[in-house]
Structure 1
């Protein structure tokens, strides 16, 4: 099974990206699922969601983990049975898994016009700013960056609009910075992003501490 893309970044961060082209049976091969995972898989009505679920497990296997090494807290944040941080994303035919020594999150999104109509829900004009570059792509980067930072927060109640900000960026640079400020949680992040040729945007956020050590 081919890996679409592998990225090595700071803080021992590794990202594995998968483009789903296989059948359900092909994606099932070689996987040992827990009872809970089998139950979740069987409860999924969408074949694409099932294949995404299996693709995540294949990526974990590629990284040296098994399904039993992955678990979730009550807020849906994933963890590994060691000291590594993990983040997972799935959008249509793309799946990605991030594993890092530091708090980090990842998101992949399809670039779609409808994001313009919902930008008021996540763009805070007092913190975030827009340039004259492609609006759909800009908004998708902002959403993906905020989603990535959101995924590092292990509790509920976080607002994309009110508690997460991203600084201005240019497409050519492929990076920015952002922060989460909520209650006692105050953390800064390095943001990286790239546009996949299939019309998707890949964004990930890594705790700034990874760049200071």
Structure 2
């Protein structure tokens, strides 16, 4: 019988199928914030999908200049503001976005990396880069939610980088997202297996 807390389990259980671990810095931050276990599980799921997105992007779009580490960090921390606005784990709300950015900045995270906590829900805002779009995409496709306007923005950037037509890029991305989406039920089950609140104090 395990004696580790639900939060530690969410952070370190391998999962079925296996999920990538969060960056050590992020896992330690979530522990220090006494993160809701369900939030940690959600961040694991989205971060794992982000790995699949950046691996594919790097392989098939070598001319696209993007920061892989930034995308992975952004996916791993995008909802960290829900440690403050816990109600937004189970109901719609955007208060966690700026709260998350401020929280990361207060813990010494650079503005370049903290920004994803604020931008993951506003992909049409001015100045949004491919890294922001990939984090937003990971935050949707982990549960097999398709958002055409977001995907169109990604396709546009891919087509510019590759010189291929937008249609070709759409078909390739659509195929990838379909394959990632096929694992949504397992990721949702992983997330829902963890409680919103940890052990009672």
TM-score, normalised by the number of residues in structure 2: 0.29
Higher share in helix: 2
What's the TM-score once normalised by structure 1's chain length? 0.28
| Greater RCO structure (CA 8 Å; 6+ sep) | 2
